[in-house]
Amino acid sequence: MTTNTVTTNKVQQTISRNKLLRVAGVGWLFDAMDVGILSFVIAALAVEWGLTPSQAGWIGSVNSIGMAVGALIFGVLADKVGRKQIFMWTLVLFSIASGLSAFTTTLSAFMALRFLVGMGLGGELPVASTLVSESVEAKERGRVVVLLESFWAAGWLIAALISYFVIPSWGWRIALLLTAIPAIYAIYLRWHLPDSPQFVVKAESKKRSVVQNVREVWSKKYVRSTLMLWVLWFTVVFSYYGMFLWLPSVMVSKGFDMITSFKYVLIMTFAQLPGYFTAAWFIEKFGRKFVLVSYLIGTAVSAFIFGNAETMVVLLTSGMFLSFFNLGAWGALYAYTPEQYPAVIRGTGAGMAAAVGRIGGIFGPLLVGFLLTAGYDIGFIFAIFCGAIIIGVVGVIFLGQETKQIQLD
């Protein structure tokens, strides 16, 4: 093979990788936009509908219930019908349901649609990371998946901008209508997104039963990895949704008006981008375990300081570090998870781990609502999340295996 041919092949691979990252990343951005807007919508609904903290907590939790169901169902289906098909189906489901929720007038109808939104979101995220993991070379796989996750920060930024400029002037319904746009994007995906090359060549995937796949995830060969992932996903999602869905409301509780609170959360959100980019660089240099452990410890420390902050400067600074470390850890989590399993059960394994995580996402917002109603302060609540994150760190240290640049089966 000539030097020119090798160079041409590398250029083509780079173009293909960048196209996949861009196409899948935009879908990821839309996901984040919806979740981000929800945190601001909850704060607006609490005022407009007179919701109690417990009722507001249930909105976030029913979203996570849907995500748990969606991650499990669509993760399993991804090993049967392909990553691309599931990616499109979930995108359509969450965007249409989110748009319809703008027309609701009761809490029960809103929550029913948020369940469907959650199903779409819960299914799409692990499937998209699996698709990207299987489509790039081992030497850059971790970095590319973390960069995919960085689109989440862009989506949150858009959500914060929409919430800051749209909700105060035009209301939360218009903001939710904007989240229906991704349904159109699914048509583009149908023609421009290739399926995973590993799924395409693994004909045996379609012959295996769902029960077979689930059993193998818990077989002796993978039980250690599965246990580690389940603990890690539960603690990370429990703390993330407990903290971040309540950020605008926490700011309000500390004496800021709604518009000022939205502004400060927008500033905190900007810190997510360097969190992702530094994690993307470290993950191929020092490994997955290093990034997960160091960034989760940074998250725990930042959460403790944020919960006990008494001045605007400390609140804003610790909030920015919280965004920086937590979202960097999320990027590493999505890179690490698909690497624990072979292609024939990768969607099932990643989907099951994400589903367990979403159970944590159910209890996180509920716990905040319950404890606030019971009279506990934010400092105590965030200390609980800090402890949960440390449990996840211990799980990675003692059960996790380094997967940096290994070839996927």
- In this prediction, residue 69 carries a pLDDT of 94
164's tokens: 């800051």
Which residues have C-beta within 8 Å of that of residue 279, sequence separation ≥ 6? 146, 291, 295, 328, 329, 331, 332
28's tokens: 């990821």
**pLDDT per residue over 227-266, tens digit each?**
999 999 999 999 998 888 777 777 777 777 766 777 777 7
Which residues have C-beta within 8 Å of that of residue 214, sequence separation ≥ 6? 76, 348, 352
- In this prediction, residue 124 carries a pLDDT of 86
- In this prediction, residue 25 carries a pLDDT of 84
- In this prediction, residue 130 carries a pLDDT of 85
Show the low-confidence residues of the chain (pLDDT under 70).
Answer: 1-16, 182-183, 185-195, 198-207, 258-259
- In this prediction, residue 237 carries a pLDDT of 93
- In this prediction, residue 5 carries a pLDDT of 44
Which of 337, 320, 375 minimizes the C-alpha distance to 129? 337
Residues 160 and 139: their CA atoms lie apart, in Å, by 35
- Phi/psi at 308 (5° precision): -105, 10
CA distances from 160 to 15, 154, 181 (A): 31, 10, 17
**pLDDT per residue over 205-233, tens digit each?**
566 788 899 999 999 999 999 999 999 99
**148 C-beta neighbours (distance < 10 Å), count:** 28
Contact at 8 Å (CB) between 33 and 158? yes
Residues 338 and 315: their CA atoms lie apart, in Å, by 35
